[in-house]
Structures are given as structure tokens and as C-alpha cells.
Structure 1
Amino acid sequence: MKILVTGVTGQLGHDVMLELQSRGHEAIGAARKEFSLTDFEAARAFVERTHPDAIIHCAAYTAVDRAEDEKDLCMITNGGATRALAAAAKDVGAKFVYLSTDYVFPGTGDTPYETDALKGPANAYGLSKLAGETAVQELLDAYFIVRISWVFGVNGKNFVRTMLRLAETHDALTVVDDQIGSPTYTKDLARLLVDMVESEKYGVYHATNEGFCSWAEFASEIFRQAGKHVTVTPVPSSAYPTKATRPKNSRLSKAALDAAGFQRLPAWQDALARYLCELHKNPNK
């Protein structure tokens, strides 16, 4: 298959390209130099010119706090560009994979959200990603909407890298403990996304590594596995006020994956161990 991947300079796009190439697909990477997500005509023209069999749309506006001050830009990038790419996919008959987020939900309660649970984003970023979902569902039949959370990969900045950097200068840290979710390793996620695009099991899915934790628990496990002697003190979200409201409940149900016969991702602790090994092998990435 010929598969177009947007956002190839990011964590997920990088690993999706590698996974596609390892399986013998013709992977076409698109970054800002190919087209800007705010230039809808350029995006559609690129799809028409390359005429892919599928599009895996990883690119997005992800600056959650800045989005509160750049709501229009965030909506144009995540909502408008997704609509333009989905329309282009329809024109060329391509499957479409849209990466969404747990932020489309209100983030309340303590039970995992099912794929069809009531939406209610609490910030501008979540609203923009929900707009992207709506566009995909309105325009296409051959689509996969995949909601993810707490992403980490070798090709970019993330919570794991931040904790490891702080461990070099701190022997104690305070970390939020009332936001619960699941870390997601991009290498594991990339395999699942390619499994999906190779199938015709269209629909809405949740895909994170297995298990739930707080950010404080995640930090503690990072330090334990990395052999860093850092004491983590759990604190409430109120200790670190942010411009954008963060969900307290980011738990996502995997029932849709099970029903479709897709394999769940490994436990997040296992994913973290493999990621730390990857960082050790590629210290300059």
C-alpha cells in the first residue's frame, strides 16, 4: 500500500513511518515543508498529487495551554485541516486514520470512557480535536478514529524526557497525583495503527498502553527503572494551575479494540522499560 503520514517530524509520525517501511509499504512522509496545515488547498493538492491508498493523520496543534490564547489557529489546524484532508481522502478513495485524544471527554468521574461516551471537552484543544472527529465522521465511511493519551516516543519532547532531565539536578520533585490515565509508547501505537490501516475494521477506538496511573506514579516508575534516586511527592492539580483545564479522568476503555479483534498494547511499565532502552541506544535523538 501507498500510505501518506502527516506530522512525520513528531514522535508518532516518526514511528509510524518506520513501522510502515518495515512491513514493505510505500510510506510518504509529510511535514510542514510539504504543506502547512493552515493551507487547506495545499494539503488537498498534495493528497491528489501523491494519490495514497491511506492517510494516517498524525500532525496536529498540540500546545494545550497556548491554545487557550490561539483558539482560532488551534481550531483551523485540528478541525479545518482534518476536514480538508478527509475530503481529499474521499476524492482519491483513501482510507483515513485520525489521531484524536482523551481530551474530547469531560475528564470527570473514575471509570474508563467508552468510545461512544458523552463528549464535553474542557479546553480549546479538546474542542478542536472533537471538531476533527466530527469532520471525519461526516465525510467518510472508511475511517479509523483513534483516541490516545500521554504519548512518549524517541523523536521528541515528552514527560519521560522531562523527568529524566529534572533528575539530573533534583533529588526531590512534586508531581500531580489526581490526574489518572495511561501512558502511550509511540512504537507500540504505530504497530496498532498499521494493523488497522491494513484492515477494513473501520470505527472509533481507544489505544493506549495497558494499565492506569497518576502522573506522580508514572514519574516514580520512570525514576525506579532509570535508577535515579529522586523522591516524588504527590500533589493535587491545584498546586500547578494551568491556563487550560486538564482532565482528572483520562481512563479509556479498550472494549472496541477487543470487539474488532485488535491486540491491546502491552502494559505501560513494559513500554517504559523498552523506551528507556531505546533512549540509551539513541542518546542524541
Structure 2
Amino acid sequence: MSKVLVTGGSGQLGRELRLKAQIFHDHTFVFTDRSELNIADAFQVRQVVERERPSCVINCAAYTAVDRAESDIDAAMSVNHSGAELCAAEARRIGARFIHISTDFVFDGKKSTPYVEDDMTSPLGVYGLSKREGERAVLDAHPDACIIRTSWLYSAYGANFLKTMLRLGRERSEIGVIADQVGTPTWTADFADVLLQAVTADLSGIFHYSNEGVASWYDFAIAIMELSGLSCDVRPLETHEYPTPAQRPAYSIMNKRKIRSALNISIPYWRVSLQKCIERLKQEDL
């Protein structure tokens, strides 16, 4: 039985993988969080990898505070670039496979058709830049690594757009949400299933994964209110009406043909998955 080491095990994706791992009996899993493994610390990375000797490493650890990254450049680069490189290098050193999570924010959003894996990257902010540099460093350190870009992750865990909208929907009668940025909401439960399949599929190179379909943040918020039975009105905002420190891509739809073919999977529509996640949240509230 092979062993899988997961970094960032307390994040929303890591926590979803913990649940899935309980019924994924072909592998044993070791989950670490930042208190156990700071991936930007070369000594810790070497120590944990040497102790566990995994056959595969899934790097879910990341600096994801998009706006804060604009003034916290060193921290974002330390984790998303240097840390990813250290983990990839250590995985290669012991002959382990390496799966790294990246983001749609490596693109500038100027296309009008879905991004494919070999489209030019041109991040608009520090977060996207740190992830793009991390991708490059990972492939330099471990040429057979698998990088999967995803978008707009949400889950029943941690802080994310879904949880924020549910809170605001209960507290307010009306909110404004950006309507001129489009992408695809992605449920971590669906993504975790794909990652577990990738463990055994021996993928290498760059892939895209999100749920299917297209939505603006406004569409996403409307669906959250409808599916959760909240009466909060959602009004559309243009990006200039809600300025943020970091600029975000206006269009970040990704083409998933490559990963669908490689894993022979059917990808759920975003609204179907959102309903399942909200139902799970309701059950946990009871």
C-alpha cells in the first residue's frame, strides 16, 4: 500500500481530502498543516519527506489572501513559489510523484474563450504572480510533476465566498456583488475526487479543473440565496464600484478537455454541486 503526503491539510481542500481519504483504501494518507510543516522551511520539508517517504505528495499548502498579497509580497512568494519548489525537489529526490495545486489567477482575463493549458500566463497581481512562478519552479525541480489549476473554490469548511454569502444573507436585506467578472465556482468535494484519481493515474504536466459552466460572482451569489432559501436581495456591481487592492481577471473560464480525457471523467455542473454543498451544510446545522 502506497503512502500519500498532503500539505496544507487544514485548508478547505485539505479537509475535503481528509474526508475522502477515509474511504480511499488503496493508499495511506499523512496530512500536515502549517504547524507541522511550513513548506517554506527547507529543513522541515526535508525532515517530513524523509520521515514519511511517500510515493506521492499533494501540495495543497498555499498563500491565498489575494488582496493582502499586494502588500505582503515576500510571504506570498515564500509559500507559493519557494515552498512549492522545495516540496517538488524533495519529492523528486526520493522518487515520489508530485501534484501541485494552482489557480486561474495566472491568467489576465483578456481572452473571450476558455483558457487552455498552454495559453500564455500573465497574472495581474502578486497572488497570481506567486502561483505562476511556483508552477515554473515546480516543473524545473520535478519535470514529471502534475500541476492542476482550479478556480473559485468553496466548501463547507473555512472562509470562502459561499460561507460569506450565507452569513451576509442572514444579516442583511440587500448586498451588492460583482457582476462583470466571470469564472466557474468549484466545489472542493468534486476537486478532491479528481485529485485522488490523479494519484493513481500518473499524470504529468499542466491540467485545468473546475466545475462545468460559467457564472459571475453575482450569478454565484444569486444561486446561493435561492438554494439556501434566503430572501436577501443581490444587486449587480461593476468592478469599479467595489475597488480592491488586487486586480482580478474579468474572464477566467478554463477548458477542461485535457483532464476529462486523461481521467475519463464527467465533470458536474457548478450549480448542481453548489446545491449538494448547501444541503451538506444544512445537515450539519441540524
The 5 Å alignment of 1:100-115 reads 100-115=102-117
Quote the residue 2:7 is aligned against. Answer: 6
Picking from 185, 196, 204, the partner of 1:194 is 196
Distance across 2 between alignment mates of 1:45 and 1:142: 23
Following superposition, the deviation at residue 265 of structure 1 comes to 2.4
Quote the residue 1:119 is aligned against. Answer: 121
Quote the residue 2:218 is aligned against. Answer: 216
CA contact (8 A) 2:197 2:263 kept: no
Following superposition, the deviation at residue 203 of structure 1 comes to 2.1
CA contact (8 A) 2:40 2:86 kept: no
Quote the residue 2:34 is aligned against. Answer: 32
For residue 246 of structure 1, give the secondary structure of its aligned residue in structure 2: coil
Quote the residue 1:227 is aligned against. Answer: 229
Distance across 1 between alignment mates of 2:139 and 2:164: 36
Following superposition, the deviation at residue 142 of structure 1 comes to 2.9
Distance across 2 between alignment mates of 1:55 and 1:261: 19
Quote the residue 1:20 is aligned against. Answer: 21
The letter of the residue matching 1:31 is D
Alignment TM-score, normalising by the size of structure 2: 0.96
Distance across 2 between alignment mates of 1:155 and 1:6: 17
Distance across 2 between alignment mates of 1:258 and 1:35: 32
Distance across 1 between alignment mates of 2:266 and 2:43: 37
The 5 Å alignment of 1:76-155 reads 76-155=78-157
Distance across 2 between alignment mates of 1:35 and 1:201: 25
Picking from 268, 271, 274, the partner of 1:272 is 274
The letter of the residue matching 2:164 is T
Distance across 1 between alignment mates of 2:135 and 2:111: 23
CA contact (8 A) 1:103 1:126 kept: yes
What is the aligned-residue RMSD (CA, Å)? Answer: 1.3
For residue 101 of structure 2, give the secondary structure of its aligned residue in structure 1: strand
Decide which moves more: 36-45 or 272-281: 36-45
For residue 168 of structure 1, give the secondary structure of its aligned residue in structure 2: helix
Following superposition, the deviation at residue 29 of structure 1 comes to 0.5
The 5 Å alignment of 1:49-64 reads 49-64=51-66
Distance across 2 between alignment mates of 1:124 and 1:264: 33
The letter of the residue matching 2:62 is A
Distance across 1 between alignment mates of 2:13 and 2:94: 24
CA contact (8 A) 2:198 2:263 kept: no
Decide which moves more: 33-42 or 76-85: 33-42
CA contact (8 A) 1:114 1:252 kept: yes
Gaps of 5+ in 1: none
Alignment TM-score, normalising by the size of structure 1: 0.96
Distance across 2 between alignment mates of 1:162 and 1:254: 28
Quote the residue 1:159 is aligned against. Answer: 161
Distance across 2 between alignment mates of 1:250 and 1:260: 22
Residues 97-156 of structure 1: per-residue CA shift (max 9 Å, x gap): 100000111122321110100010100011110111111111223321000111011221
Following superposition, the deviation at residue 259 of structure 1 comes to 3.2
Distance across 2 between alignment mates of 1:102 and 1:217: 18
The letter of the residue matching 1:49 is R
Following superposition, the deviation at residue 258 of structure 1 comes to 3.0
Following superposition, the deviation at residue 192 of structure 1 comes to 0.4
Distance across 2 between alignment mates of 1:111 and 1:41: 43
For residue 87 of structure 1, give the secondary structure of its aligned residue in structure 2: helix
Distance across 2 between alignment mates of 1:112 and 1:44: 38
For residue 111 of structure 1, give the secondary structure of its aligned residue in structure 2: coil
Sequence identity of aligned pairs in percent? Answer: 39
Gaps of 5+ in 2: none
For residue 268 of structure 2, give the secondary structure of its aligned residue in structure 1: strand
